[in-house]
Amino acid sequence: MPPQLPPNELSFWERVFNSVLMKLGVIFFLILLLLLPMSLVDDLIRERKYREQDVTAEISSKWGREQVISSPVLAIPYDYVRETTERDEKGKDNIIRSIQQDWLFLLPNQVNIKTNVTPEYLKRGIYQSVVYNAQIEMEGDFSGLEQEKLGTDLANVRWNDAKLVFGIRDLKGLLSSPTLTWDTTIMEIGTFEKTLQLFESNLVANVSLFSIMDTKKSFSIKMNLRGSKSLNYFPIANQTSISVAGKWNNPSFNGGYLPEDRNVEADHFQATWEIPSFSRSLPAQWEGNPGRLYSFSGIDLTENRYFAQDDVSTEINPSVNTPSSFIKSNDADMVQINFLPEVNNYQKTTRVAKYGILVIILTFASLFFTEIIKKQRIHIIQYILIGVAMVLFYSLLLAISEYLNFNTAYVLAAVATVGLIASFIKSITKDLKIALLFTGILSLFYGFIFVLMQLRDYSLIVGTIGVFIILAVLMRVSTRINWYQFDRK
């Protein structure tokens, strides 16, 4: 028969399973286990965020997408003889001559753009997207072609077929036909020219010329335009001046140029740009086959996700008459004004969720120290239930923030979670003081995270100092415990 233990003495395995080290090991394993539901919460946030993006993209497709407004380009066709060699059935090489058409392109000398933009929220269900109406006035002039830089005979130029081409990104955003004044003549604008595809959507006017001297002209364009999320300008003149004013308190100035002057107040903003030709990637004039002058990518700035909207070829196709190829422009060659929403709930919820495992660790550490100091045993199942309640906080925050503003949703979710855990601890320990202590501890943790959410540039330094202080407090509390007593027991 095995030796009998005294009535009050625990067996070896009972001592192992009831030891402090075993409890710490199980708590550590539980923390790792809670990483799984935390990852599911991250997936849920991402899924809801993508759903919002789908809805806002649908709104944009019907209202008007992110608009890109381009300065006009003067395009003049010319004919040239192309020679090709073909071998006949007898093996003789024959020279075939054909008349081909190409284009001369001239960029403006000076362009002044004035814009008055009115952003607003357009709602669909629980989601909303930022859209805008813009009244745009563009004035400028062409200084004329430089004959010495042309590679073609002026006798072959078809002056009477000249076109003025300017672009916007989404024609659906036009509220009415733009008004174009060429010198003193009001011109008709259409989209009928299919051989010229300089921009994503091309607006073309026939401007008959008589000679190279007629390329010195002035113009003005007025249009009412709708768009969403951002308003972009593609400056290609020798000197471009842009002035934008609007009623929005959170504009973001991006692209390749920052404003020369800006004034952002609570209910409106105003900004101006002065852009010389030195920073553009296009020559003042060129000849050759037409090609897209830029590629534009829609950018979600809050999450740094990129959505390519058109091809990303980097060069315009040069013809034999093109003096040189040049790099296609992109977002970095544009002026960008992004109309950011006041609060991005999904972005803030994602940031809060990143602190989730830290809150769980600190809560379990506080619970463990309370268990040791107060000699109130808490079962591992009860640790699990408390951990699940803390994970559920993020789902609760996500759900409420889709209907209320983020700050209100955070307070409601935190109060519900702290109240649930505090009442549970009160039921376990039968001690109101311990329950109130944990109410204070959890309130401190969630309040600390809430403060970090309000800080953008200083969240790292404040968060690091806060965690350092919490660690110092835990270290101080641990010195009040005689850990060797557990070895003797």
- 3-class secondary structure per residue, 346-406: HHHHHHHHHCHHHHHHHHHHHHHHHHHHHCCCCCHHHHHHHHHHHHHHHHHHHHHHCCCCH
> What was the pLDDT predicted at 115?
93
Which of 342, 373, 394 finishes a domain?
342
Mean pLDDT of 322-336: 69
**218 in any annotated domain:** yes
Does residue 18 or residue 314 have the better pLDDT? 18
Please state the rounded mean pLDDT for residues 313-323: 37
Report the alpha-carbon distance of residue 179 to residue 139 in Å, rounded. 12
> Residue 304's pLDDT is what?
43
The answer to the question of residue 1 being in a domain is no
Q: Is the pLDDT of residue 301 over 50?
A: no
Query: Where does the pLDDT of residue 314 fall: very low under 50, low under 70, confident under 90, or very high at 90 and above?
Result: very low
- Both 334 and 353 in one domain: the answer is no
Residue 2 lies in a domain: no
In a domain, 59, yes or no: no
Q: What is the pLDDT of residue 417?
A: 92
Same domain, 335 and 353: no
The answer to whether position 398 is within a domain reads: yes
Whether 487 has a pLDDT exceeding 70, the answer reads: no
Together in a domain, 226 and 252: yes
Nearest to 77 by CA among 219, 218, 193, 183: 193
Statement to judge: residues 239 and 201 lie in one domain? yes
Better-predicted residue by pLDDT, 330 or 481: 330
Which among 267, 256, 321 has a CA at the least distance from the CA of 120?
267
Confidence class for position 303, pLDDT limits 50, 70, 90: very low
Res. 136: pLDDT tops 90 = yes
Within this chain, do residues 147 and 263 fall inside the same structural domain, yes or no?
yes
Considering the domain boundaries, does residue 4 fall inside one? no
Q: Are residues 155 and 185 in the same domain?
A: yes
Given a cut of 50, whether residue 118 has pLDDT beyond it is yes
Is the per-residue pLDDT at 8 higher than 50? yes
Task: Please count the structural domains in the chain.
Answer: 2
Domain stops at, among 342, 372, 394: 342
In degrees and rounded to multiples of 5, residue 360 shows phi and psi of -65, -45
pLDDT number for residue 226: 92
pLDDT category of residue 139 using cuts at 50, 70 and 90: very high
Question: Does 453 map to a domain?
Answer: yes
Q: State what percent of residues in the chain have pLDDT above 90.
A: 13
Residue 316 in this model has a pLDDT that exceeds 60: no
pLDDT of residue 159 exceeding 60, the answer is yes
In 3D space, the residue among 306, 294, 299, 295 whose CA is nearest the CA of residue 337 turns out to be 299
Does residue 68 carry a pLDDT above 50?
yes
**pLDDT band at residue 323, thresholds of 50, 70 and 90?**
very low
Q: What is the CA radius of gyration of the chain?
A: 34
Give the pLDDT confidence score for residue 327 in this predicted structure: 59
Q: How does residue 305 score in pLDDT terms, banded at 50, 70 and 90?
A: very low
Domain match, 419 and 301 both: no
Quick one: pLDDT band at residue 91, thresholds 50, 70, 90? low
Residue 264 and residue 249 in contact, taking contact as beta carbons nearer than 8 Å: yes
Residue 6 domain-assigned (yes or no): no
Check pLDDT > 50 for residue 338: yes
Task: Find all residues with CB under 8 Å of 75, minimum gap 6, and list them.
Answer: 103, 104, 105, 106, 162, 163, 164, 165, 196, 198, 290
Higher pLDDT, 408 or 342: 408
Poorest-pLDDT segment among 38-42, 156-160, 195-199, 311-315: 311-315
Same-domain pairing of 159 and 239: yes
The residue that leads in pLDDT, 267 or 139, is 139
Q: 217, 183 in Cβ contact below 8 A? A: yes
Q: Is the pLDDT of residue 413 over 90?
A: yes
Please give the torsion angle defined by the CA atoms of residues 174, 177, 178 and 182, in that order, rounded to the nearest 10 degrees: 160
* Residue 134 pLDDT: 92
Is 236 in the same domain as 130? Answer: yes
Highest-confidence segment of 96-100, 110-114, 377-381: 110-114
Q: Which of 2-6, 134-138, 350-354, 423-427 has the lowest mean pLDDT?
A: 2-6
Summarised one tens digit per residue, pLDDT across range 9-47 is 555 445 555 566 777 788 888 888 888 888 898 888 888
- pTM of the model as a whole: 0.76
Residues 392 and 274 in one domain: no
Judge whether residue 7 has pLDDT over 60. Answer: no
265/140 same-domain check = yes
User: What percentage of the chain reaches a pLDDT higher than 70?
Assistant: 83
Which of 309, 342, 375 is at the close of a domain? 342
Average pLDDT, the chain: 80
Between 390 and 18, whose confidence is greater?
390
- Kindly report the number of other CB atoms within 10 A of residue 489's CB atom: 10
pLDDT at 422 exceeding the cut of 60: yes
256 and 388 share a domain?
no
* Domain boundaries, position 411: 12-52+346-488
Q: What pLDDT does 19 receive?
A: 62
